[in-house]
Amino acid sequence: MLWQRAREPHAHRWSLPGGGLGPEEDVEASIRRQLAEKVDVRQLSHVEQLAVFSAPDRVPGPRVVATAFVGLVPSDTDPVVPSDTTWHPVDALPATAFDHEAICRRARSRLASKLSYTNLGFALAPPEFTISALRSLYSAALGYEVSATNLQRVLSRRGLLEPTGAVAPVGPSGGRPAALFRFVAGRLRITDPFAVLRPPSSRNLGT
Amino acid sequence: MLWQRAREPHAHRWSLPGGGLGPEEDVEASIRRQLAEKVDVRQLSHVEQLAVFSAPDRVPGPRVVATAFVGLVPSDTDPVVPSDTTWHPVDALPATAFDHEAICRRARSRLASKLSYTNLGFALAPPEFTISALRSLYSAALGYEVSATNLQRVLSRRGLLEPTGAVAPVGPSGGRPAALFRFVAGRLRITDPFAVLRPPSSRNLGT
DNA sequence: CAGGTTTTCGCCTTTCGGTCGAAAACGTGG
DNA sequence: CCACGTTTTCGACCGAAAGGCGAAAACCTG
């Protein structure tokens, strides 16, 4: 989500939301406050620090050190945004201001990595979804196609997926109606990565 | 590596090395400069940003926003340090200043996670090592025992390990002399994590 | 040379991930 | 109402990865 700068520097270029750190807040409170001016922050399903960007010349004029965050919203949310603000596909960004394109690339890389070895998928998915919808989400976020069969098995084995019992309405071209799933409650915050080199005799999975 | 504060605030408590950001440097250059006052920074095998700590009351007096880094040195290095500075086991930290204990815990957690799904092990190991020495390193960093057999197999399969041909001198109680290994050159920087949910038909491993 | 110690290696089992194709469950059009 | 296309689901198979175990190897000491 970018907004188009009206004034110099970098007028007309697109910019990440953000702003100065207030005296009574930490950086996460600050970014949530900045975002609240753009969207309904209650729709944020996940927020995490990305990195500090501090090159002396990253912005013209006085030195500005930025703490970049990754904020995710479920794919079904279409928040109302101000007129200068729109969503852009991360693969086709417009001309961006300052180092914001590099920040976006880092964020995209972080997302792709964490999708694979954590339960972060919950943050991208709507409350209920079909496996093929989830497959599309993962494929888009990872940048390559994944198998629906395998995706379902891997997430299920990790104890993340749960069938709702309902089925989705069928599409215009027919086909078997898809079962609806949700991420299990209690796994809606990011947890430990799924590690290799486990402790010996760890028969603790799936719970 | 902590140094003991001589003056208030938090006199006599132990503190992470660090300091202010200079006008002509980014945060990584800054932390390397700060560390250079304590140790030989050429021994640093890996440096990465950890997180920003920015609670308004994290230090008394004017607000200080800190960008914390993780810096690793190989286990065989014993750098000369100033008289106020010593190494401490991360499981038994002394009384620390400010929020530095929380920072250490986060760093420890980050290290344990990354050891598992990246090639970060190279940063902890000396240039040459035996498998059991490496096993000790991994066990200490992860906080639980790992199998030497499995560790060697996993790292070998990832193409990270290479035998030197030499063997280590035997210990006082005898036993078969251990073969020496090294991390393969070219893998001495952190690379992409080893991901699950791979793209279809990716026959690209081991190279 | 017997006994103790440590490392190494091969074998086995389990788990995991990837692939494929058949079957199921819908529409639609003759 | 039946043949056909479409989409989803599921089971089966396979290879790769990881964990576990014990025998063998290679050293010491007495």
pLDDT digits (tens, 9 = 90+) for B71-111: 999 999 888 889 999 999 999 999 999 999 999 999 999 99
**Residues B150, B154, B159: CA angle, nearest 5 degrees:** 145
As to burial, measured by CB atoms within 10 angstroms (0-12 exposed, 13-18 middle, 19+ buried), residue A154 is middle
Q: What is the pLDDT of residues A148-184, one digit of tens each?
A: 999 999 999 999 999 999 999 998 888 899 999 999 9
Which residues, in sequence order, are CB contacts of B122 under 8 Å at separation 6+?
Answer: B45, B46, B160, B183, B187, B188
pLDDT, position A182: 97
Highest mean pLDDT among A71-80, A158-167, B165-174: A158-167
Exposure b/e, A162-197, CB count within 10 A at least 16 = b: eeeeeeeeeeeeeeeebebbbbeeebbeeeebbeeb
Reply yes or no on whether the pLDDT at A187 is more than 80.
yes
Kind and range of the H or E element at A51?
strand A46-53
- Based on its alpha-carbon atoms, the radius of gyration of chain B, rounded to whole angstroms, reads 20
Per the CB < 8 A criterion, the answer to whether A84 and A17 are in contact is no
pLDDT, position B201: 66
Instruction: Phi first, then psi: give them for residue B14, nearest 5 degrees.
Output: -100, 145
Greater pLDDT, B64 or A204:
B64
Residue of A nearest to B22 (CA): A56
Cβ of A42 less than 7 A from strand D:
no
The rounded distance, in Å, linking the Cα atoms of A129 and A116 is: 19
Q: How far is the CA of A31 from the C1' of C20 (A)?
A: 47
DSSP A94-140: --BSTTHHHHHHHHHHHHHHHHHHSSGGGGTS-SSEEHHHHHHHHHH
The rounded distance, in Å, linking the Cα atoms of A141 and A74 is: 12
Reply yes or no on whether the pLDDT at A24 is more than 70.
yes
Nearest residue: Cα versus C1' of D10: A149
Q: What is the pLDDT of residues B176-204, one digit of tens each?
A: 999 999 999 988 999 888 888 888 765 44
A156-164 CB contacts, 8 Å cutoff, 24+ apart: A157/A205, A157/A206, A158/A119, A158/A194, A158/A206, A159/A184, A159/A187, A159/A205, A159/A206, A159/A207, A160/A119, A160/A121, A160/A122, A160/A184, A160/A187, A164/A128
pLDDT, position A204: 39
Q: How far is the CA of A171 from the C1' of C30 (A)?
A: 22
The secondary structure of residue A142, as a DSSP letter, is: H
CB-CB: which of A51, A113, A151 is closest to B193? A113
CA distance A135 to chain B (A): 11
Token pair recorded at residue B101:
């204990």
Per-residue pLDDT, averaged over A121-127, amounts to 97
B113 touches chain A (CB under 8 A): yes
Reply yes or no on whether the pLDDT at A128 is more than 50.
yes
The rounded distance, in Å, linking the Cα atoms of A156 and A179 is: 14
Q: How confident is the model at residue A198 (pLDDT cuts 50, 70, 90)?
A: confident
Kind and range of the H or E element at A156?
helix A148-157
The secondary structure of residue A42, as a DSSP letter, is: G
Cβ of A194 less than 7 A from strand C:
yes
Reply yes or no on whether the pLDDT at B172 is more than 90.
no
B-chain CB neighbours of A111 within 8 Å are none
Closest to A116 measured CA to CA, from B194, B111, B191, B201: B194
Residue of B nearest to A198 (CA): B146
Instruction: Phi first, then psi: give them for residue A140, nearest 5 degrees.
Output: -65, -45
Greater pLDDT, B205 or B144:
B144
The rounded distance, in Å, linking the Cα atoms of A15 and A6 is: 10
Query: Which positions in strand D are less than 7 Å from the protein's CB atoms?
Result: 5-12, 16-22, 24-29
Average of per-residue pLDDT values in chain A: 93
Three-state DSSP string of B166-179: EECCCECCECCCCE
Cβ of B62 less than 7 A from strand C:
no
Q: Which nucleotide is nearest to B196 (CA to C1')?
A: C17
Please give residues of chain B from 117 to 176 whose alpha-adjacent beta carbon (CB) lies under 7 Å from any atom of strand D.
147, 149-150, 153-154, 157-158, 167, 170, 172, 174-176
The rounded distance, in Å, linking the Cα atoms of B102 and A64 is: 26
Cβ of A49 less than 7 A from strand C:
no
Reply yes or no on whether the pLDDT at A205 is more than 90.
no
Q: What is the pLDDT of residues B3-61, one digit of tens each?
A: 999 998 999 999 999 999 999 999 999 999 999 988 888 899 999 999 999 999 999 99
Coil vs helix vs strand at A147: coil
pLDDT, position A206: 32
Query: Within 13 Å, how many C-alpha atoms sit on residue B3's CB side?
Result: 17
Contact B67 A54 (CB under 8 A): yes
Contact B197 A145 (CB under 8 A): no
Cβ of A154 less than 7 A from strand C:
yes
Q: How far is the CA of B178 from the C1' of C16 (A)?
A: 32
Q: What is the dihedral of CA A54, A56, A62, A64, to 10 degrees?
A: -10
Q: What is the pTM of this model?
A: 0.91
Q: Which nucleotide is nearest to A206 (CA to C1')?
A: C15
Please give residues of chain B from 172 to 201 whose alpha-adjacent beta carbon (CB) lies under 7 Å from any atom of strand D.
172, 174-177, 194
